Amino acid sequence: MWLYFIPLYIAGALLILLGMFALLARVRGGKYVRPVMQGVARIPGIRGLMMKASRAALERQNPEAASALRKLERAGVANDPQRAQAALSRLSASERRAYLEAAGQEGALPQPINRQQRRAMEKMQRQQQRRGR
């Protein structure tokens, strides 16, 4: 007789897990959910699904930033700041503006490696702020 309740126990456990996850996401802007998501991303196949969902959401929300991100990923800018600078210069003005705005909100701008690149990045950011006003 108690075997009939096993699906209810599983559904209840999943509901509690989802509630805890939602609570962690709300506390301090998701600070505590980030390590959990990094752990979940280690599961084979889940990382690809999360990236696909993230790209789809970005495409709906900001198509220009999604286009810029695709171009930057194709250029392989993940670990090389010089490639990042070169790839940023190849973006269209609207794509660059959308990418810098999105990256500025995330705090994920590529770090310039020397003074010249740092000044060029600061100049681009100042121009973006002036246009935004």
- Per residue in 8-27, pLDDT (tens digit) is 999 999 999 999 988 988 88
In the chain, how many domains are there?
1
Q: Is residue 37 included in any domain, yes or no? A: no
pLDDT exceeds cutoff 70 at 111: no
Domain residue limits at 78 = 63-132
Q: Is residue 71 included in any domain, yes or no? A: yes
Say if residues 94 and 71 touch (Cβ distance below 8 Å). no
The amino acid that residue 7 corresponds to is P
Q: Is residue 31 included in any domain, yes or no? A: no
Q: What is the pLDDT of residue 80?
A: 74
**Structure tokens that stand for 75 in this block:** 């250029």
Q: What is the pLDDT of residue 107?
A: 56
Q: Is residue 25 included in any domain, yes or no? A: no
Q: Is residue 127 included in any domain, yes or no? A: yes
C-alpha–C-alpha distance, residues 40 and 76, integer Å? 25
Model confidence pLDDT, tens digit, residues 29-80:
888 888 888 888 898 898 889 889 988 998 998 888 888 888 888 887 777 7
Closest listed residue to residue 72, CA positions, set 108, 115, 105: 108
pTM: 0.54
Q: What letter does residue 9 receive in the DSSP assignment? A: H
Q: Is residue 120 included in any domain, yes or no? A: yes
Of 56-65, 107-116, 121-130, the one with minimum mean pLDDT is 107-116
Q: Is residue 75 included in any domain, yes or no? A: yes
Q: Helix, strand or coil for residue 42? A: coil
